[in-house]
Chain A
């Protein structure tokens, strides 16, 4: 089942490229099946450890295995990814080939969360870049070449040190293979760990994104297709927190401790900094790009605390932000469909014509700025509770972003929907958009009102991380 779930989107995507006449319906069907599979896997999960594990020798001479399996975090993120892909494919008005790229990218993302072999993890991590670049290449804005340069260079250059570190982890640590279980049993120590960790840090900081390696993100979002589908997929690609949690920290706990101070600082500073910058963002995509950096800063702050609360908070926030972040990009895609522009400054007064769209936007926006009762809050709170134990001052700095978030989000939202503008009438939500709205709002509420449903699967993982650093909780 896990193999089907993993490879089906890629196959569907390829098929769609060669037989475009299958059309949008086919893409939706594929995404639906993927979501159903992930839910079935979720239903069958025992609550502890890595489930559905399977491994086949791939290059046994050098210890590379095709090994996949899902722990609690991987499983929840599978669901998040599958849900977002379905929502995106459902709502975005884009050519069929675009949808095909999105489906292909889904396999890469699912692979990142399922890989239990470090080489395969790396392969998925890199391969996911290809469909992302293709979407930008074929459907990006006029300045997309520059955005592609920046995106590709940050990602590729960032990944090289990680590749070096991967070999270091295996051979200096003395493991028999690249399997997670083998590597985790032989963690690196001392100076080697510190250096190897740095390699991971550079690559993963790009994908968290962590200040100052977030610099590729604004142009990436600005230049992507206005429908928001590519942006949503890009939001899912921000897997840095997961990779730190799954690979970097357990394989090199000593290395993590060497860099912890710097990482906490970058996370906290980035959270505030990005939220502040977002306030003067000229268009919605830039605004959301910086907002995303800010949220991931808070999540990273939690994770880098190295305790149970922080880890649970980081993973919860990661999943939540995948959903509300992507939904927000898709939402501004709907706005673009009506206004033809995403500039923040002009007063548009849309609410007069589109009250339902206004309510939908309000829900996603409030989730995004961490209103309790919606999906953003539980993760932020747990990250706070974790981080405060480690560094109260940095927690204060990071959570100043709470104020800044209200400022940038509500200010831009007011221009878009409120006030009085002599705008020509635009249609309110149609039935397809209503489905999108209902599912999105339902998930935002579910994650906000009853987080225990998901945190029970994250808590053991958080305890395992805490145990690495001698923490009892």
Chain B
């Protein structure tokens, strides 16, 4: 670990891009703006790689706020995340040069894109929780700006706003976690918290609460049940945004946050159980919803939800390195899946409905290959990237409890099905639309070539121990996360699990490949109505929360005028002055009632909360 100014420079590069393109983007224009943004991210990647190879780095300003430093820490964990964010981020930047071609907001797009990378790097590299939070809300801002990139359409602006507000629920959890940790330990530096938590001398229930607050933050950012509703709508943004922010990087930040705080979670059966439950629910919910979508981007969005659920389960069962491993493989195959979808959308002049696609393997041969790799990796076909990370999650789930293994195996069957459904509907059958599909330009094909290689091969850095070949990533990450000793499964069990999961995936892929080429049977259409609407989660939330809250806001506004009336009443009791105040009387009954209501809430609230 060295102290070096190069570390903040990693963040400064894309930040510089944001500022330059934000101020002079119009003059720089296309395609220079795109290349400038991409190269700055590449610079961050190379710089990060250099520092990781040197064994990590630190940098800090000793004081930013009283008692709170501005500190960054590049260790193996943040190093891997940095490779993913800047590496995959660079490829998506390059791809976007082609995809965003001709958009009037071209340089604005790349300015925001660089802002996102900078904020994400702050989130990853931050060692002090408030610094992490700067990145945490920074990526939220970038996500808001990019979802609503075409804000002249109301639906896009609405989606952006929804994402920001729902994320703020999670952010509140993060804030409260900081409040609690500060009151417990008097520090917010993660590296100091590790020691303080180990040292003990506090109430474990309180630490559980701190972990719970962090978990709320993670749920919001990683779109887990019950805060998953913003992610499907986030697809309103341009496709590169969906690939970078809402698939490969930002949504994994919640998982990263939990892994960072593994030292708080690993002993805690309650939190672990809760995380497993949430992850499992999300994995299945996302998978089922994906199977019902018609919009190509929403299909992929829900698959992301499902895969994020897998990562949460990994965290819950204590397989922290596996969660990160899955982030890595997922970044490759999911970015590829999104960009393949994007290439198809691009080829069809903006068409997003899969019912108007089909047969693309004839028109777009290269893109078809990318799609094939993405679908197989995502479906968990042995030996592609997705298989190895998913298999590791399954193995650790088995250790947690065979029942969990069964359920997760079910979830991975669904994962195979939605992957192959996406592939079949887009690439097989006959073309059902009226456009003239054309293959993407090289600037969009090359990033996908590279991602395909990754989706094929990156799983080999984390092979199971029974295969007599080195697992690189596990010992590498444990240096940073900590080693919370798991008992290894017996060799035979491990092999059986591997073979079962491989066989199940192949069967499901094959069955799905046949099934989705036919006309859908009746039961599937019924199911699809529910799944298409996300099982009416939005409707439910609107009825239960959003609309009552809006109505209450109206009532409160009326009631607030009632407060004046109340003072006027008080004044008339006191005589002469009251005559003056009494002019303020509005006389409306509902204001009195609202005022009364507020008074009641106040009294009860004070009694309960003080």
A residues near B, CB below 8 A?
146, 149-150, 153, 157, 212, 215, 218, 261-262, 264-265, 268-269, 273, 276-277, 279-281, 308-309, 312, 347, 349, 351-352, 359, 366, 371-373, 377-378, 381-382, 384-385, 387-389, 391-397, 399-400, 402-403, 406-407, 410-411, 414, 417-420, 450-452, 455, 459, 462, 473
Which one of A264, A273, A417 lies within 8 Å of B610 (CB-CB)?
A264
**With a CB–CB cut-off of 8 A, which chain B residues contact A308?**
66
Contact A403 B567 (CB under 8 A): no
Contact B134 A451 (CB under 8 A): no
Contact A392 B138 (CB under 8 A): no
Q: Closest CB-CB distance, A275 to chain B, in whole Å?
A: 10
B589 at the interface (CB under 8 A from A): no
Q: A269 and B553 in contact (CB under 8 A), knowing A373-B134, A385-B182?
A: no
B79 at the interface (CB under 8 A from A): no
A277 to B172, CA, bound (A): 20
* Interface members, chain B 102-143 (any A CB < 8 Å): 130, 133-134, 136-138, 141
Q: Closest CB-CB distance, A373 to chain B, in whole Å?
A: 5
Q: Closest CB-CB distance, A323 to chain B, in whole Å?
A: 18
Which one of B153, B550, B609 lies within 8 Å of A265 (CB-CB)?
B609
Sample of 22 A–B contacts (CB below 8 Å): A146-B584, A150-B564, A212-B566, A265-B609, A276-B549, A276-B553, A309-B66, A309-B67, A372-B130, A373-B134, A378-B65, A381-B65, A384-B178, A388-B179, A391-B609, A393-B609, A397-B609, A402-B171, A406-B165, A407-B165, A420-B154, A452-B65
A288 to B427, CA, bound (A): 53
B277 at the interface (CB under 8 A from A): no
* Interface members, chain B 547-605 (any A CB < 8 Å): 549-550, 552-554, 556-557, 560, 563-564, 566-567, 577, 580-581, 583-584, 598, 602, 605
B64 at the interface (CB under 8 A from A): yes
Contact A451 B153 (CB under 8 A): no
A215 to B564, CA, bound (A): 6
Contact B65 A372 (CB under 8 A): no
**With a CB–CB cut-off of 8 A, which chain B residues contact A389?**
179, 182-183
**With a CB–CB cut-off of 8 A, which chain A residues contact B602?**
269
A251 to B31, CA, bound (A): 65
Contact A262 B557 (CB under 8 A): no
**With a CB–CB cut-off of 8 A, which chain A residues contact B182?**
309, 385, 388-389
B606 at the interface (CB under 8 A from A): yes
A392 to B175, CA, bound (A): 12
For A397, give the chain B residue with the smallest CB separation. Answer: B609
Which one of B134, B164, B560, B567 lies within 8 Å of A410 (CB-CB)?
B164
**With a CB–CB cut-off of 8 A, which chain B residues contact A347?**
154
For A273, give the chain B residue with the smallest CB separation. Answer: B556
A281 to B610, CA, bound (A): 30
Q: A265 and B606 in contact (CB under 8 A), knowing A279-B550, A349-B152, A384-B175?
A: yes
Q: A261 and B563 in contact (CB under 8 A), knowing A385-B179, A385-B182, A403-B165?
A: no
B residues near A, CB below 8 A?
22, 61, 63-67, 130, 133-134, 136-138, 141, 144, 148, 151-154, 157-158, 161, 164-165, 168-169, 171-172, 175-176, 178-180, 182-183, 186, 549-550, 552-554, 556-557, 560, 563-564, 566-567, 577, 580-581, 583-584, 598, 602, 605-606, 609-610
Contact B183 A418 (CB under 8 A): no
Q: A373 and B138 in contact (CB under 8 A), knowing A215-B567, A393-B609, A452-B63?
A: yes
Contact B563 A215 (CB under 8 A): yes
Q: A280 and B557 in contact (CB under 8 A), knowing A351-B151, A402-B171, A403-B168?
A: yes
Contact A414 B168 (CB under 8 A): no
Contact A381 B178 (CB under 8 A): yes
What 15 additional pairs, Cβ within 8 angstroms, besides A269-B602, A407-B165, A452-B65?
A212-B566, A261-B610, A262-B606, A280-B557, A347-B154, A378-B65, A392-B180, A395-B179, A402-B168, A402-B175, A403-B165, A403-B168, A410-B165, A451-B65, A462-B66
Contact B154 A400 (CB under 8 A): no
- Closest A-B pairs by Cβ, 5 of them: A388-B179, A418-B151, A372-B134, A280-B553, A279-B553
Q: A414 and B161 in contact (CB under 8 A), knowing A351-B151, A371-B141, A382-B65?
A: yes
For A403, give the chain B residue with the smallest CB separation. Answer: B168
A153 to B578, CA, bound (A): 11
Which one of B66, B148, B176, B563 lies within 8 Å of A395 (CB-CB)?
B176
Q: Closest CB-CB distance, B443 to chain A, in whole Å?
A: 27
A153 to B161, CA, bound (A): 40
A298 to B560, CA, bound (A): 19
Contact A459 B66 (CB under 8 A): yes
